[in-house]
Chain A
Amino acid sequence: MNDAIEIEKLTYSYPDGRVALDNVSFNVSRGETVGIIGSNGAGKTTLLLHLPGILQGSGNLKIAGYEMNSKNLKNIRKAVGLVFQEPDDQLFMPTVFDDIAFAPLQFGREPEEIHKIVHEVLRKVGLSGFEERLAHHLSFGEKKRVAIAVALAMNPEILVFDEPTSNLDPHARKELIVLIKGLNNTKVIAGHDMEMIKETCTKVIVVNKGKVAAEGTPAEIFSNKVLLETNMLI
């Protein structure tokens, strides 16, 4: 069976010429949870934006069995649910229902099915009954959960989180970790929250200045103080 994500020699430069990703290669097998850690500006978000093909650098990407090209883009976007760091960027519709229904609608699902989907994903993230709530009346923690519900709406094979626990209070953070652990999709989680990565991930990739600096199990990576220090993680 194919891996969920296969990235080979991915290189990407910003429009101003600065290199953001330099020869990045790694694989993620199905059902695995992979943490991507790195200091600010290491290229984590840029890397994540390549998974649903929002940014397209050079190199070979295979996501959920689809070769990355314009023909497969639609299928890839169906297969990847992206949870942004800032929920206000992700939730752009006035009500929670409309936000969750957005992706299923664009992908041509039927109205009755969409009602079911919205109900189901809200239950999954523990926000049943939030359908008609207005996005700007939600607390930050609730917005984060709705953002996850939005990503789950297409029942994606791969879930991608960009710093899921940032700005959350300790209680909301703990609940969110429980929620993430409870999802059985293949997961890619980027972040600085080492405890969260340790708790949720089966594999950790360290990025530094756009390069993969190390790859290993959480136990290997987090016990290697020299590695963490040279990559500005402690």
Chain B
Amino acid sequence: MDHHLLEKYNTLESTIHKLDPRTKILFSLLYVLTVVFTVPGDIVKLGALLLVIVSVIIMAKIPLIYVFKRSLVIFPFVFIIAMFLPFFSVADGSGFIELKVLGLNLSRKGLYIFWNSLFKAWFAIMAMILLSSTTSFPLMLKGLALLKVPFILIMILSFMYRYIFVLIDKAQKLNRAVKLRHFSLNNFKQIKIIANMIGLLFIMTYEKGERIYQSMVSRGFEGNIKLMDRLKIKAVDIVFSVVVLTVLLFINLWSFL
């Protein structure tokens, strides 16, 4: 795995990168909610929302093609969850499309919901990719902590982020050692070796955890971790919030005007 995959565009300089993580997290959530609550088939609204996300991506100086490529990852999931919709949706008078070849009936309504969920999921994942490529993980954790996400979750994520790279290195070394000695194994025997590797990794992490705990204790850890809040809401956050809030409100209330 590429260590820097997560952090590829974190260090760019842009207005979006400079925003407080709290602003970004809250607006990503707000955006996702707006997308989710859009009535299926409201193409004008979906188009406007696409325009919003694309313009913020451009503002953040992140290549659009990179976001599109990474957003493809969501489609298999949505596909599996939503693929049966056209087959099971109750007829509502909109009728069916008959597939002659397979002898199946697809409901128009179901198909309609299906492509809607596909688009919504795609918009939402783009917002998340944007958030994670403009916010470094430590900053994101700080933002989440200040937004009152339970502290234990923050610490779990923090340790995960710190040690996932160490663990990957360990696994790669183990894998290399296996490859050096066993070059012609059939799949079944390989499974046994992989099982051993996983066990070994588990013991390594267990022991590492113990030493990390010792390090924490020697530095005054007594069951509660105190963290420092080094974030400040800046003028740029307020401007961004006002602009995006106005745009989202406008998009939401458009149909009532």
Contact = CB atoms under 8 A, between A and B. Distances in A.
Given A77-B218, A105-B227, A84 B162 contact: no
A80 B222 CA distance: 16
A91 B219 CA distance: 11
A86 interface: yes
Contacts of A52: 217-218
A224 interface: no
Given A92-B215, A106-B226, A134-B7, 8 more contacts: A54-B214, A74-B220, A82-B218, A92-B163, A103-B220, A108-B226, A136-B162, A150-B219
Main secondary structure of the interface of B (DSSP, over half): helix
A101 interface: yes
A41 interface: no
- Kindly state the interface size class of chain A when it binds its partner: 20 to 34
Kindly name the residue among B137, B214, B221 whose own CB sees the greatest number of chain A CB atoms within 10 A: B214
Nearest to B219: A103
Contact of A54 (B137, B162, B218, B226): B218
Interface string B204-240: 0000100110111111111001111010000000000
A98 interface: yes
B21 to A, nearest CB: 13
Given A94-B137, A95-B138, A106-B225, A77 B219 contact: yes
B161 A94 contact: yes
B228 A136 contact: no
Interface of A: 49, 52, 54, 74, 77-78, 80, 82, 84, 86, 88-95, 97-98, 101-103, 105-108, 111, 114, 134-136, 150, 154
* 4 A-B pairs closest in CB distance: A106-B220, A103-B219, A94-B138, A89-B211
A111 B212 contact: no
Interface string B161-183: 11101100000000000000000
A92 B220 contact: no
Q: How large is the interface on B (under 10, 10 to 19, 20 to 34, 35 or more residues)?
A: 20 to 34
5 contacts: A52-B217, A89-B215, A90-B215, A106-B221, A150-B219
Contacts of B166: 88, 136
B55 to A, nearest CB: 29
A134 B208 CA distance: 19
Contact of A106 (B7, B208, B222, B230): B222
Contacts of B130: none
Contacts of B7: 134
Nearest to A114: B228
A150 B225 CA distance: 16
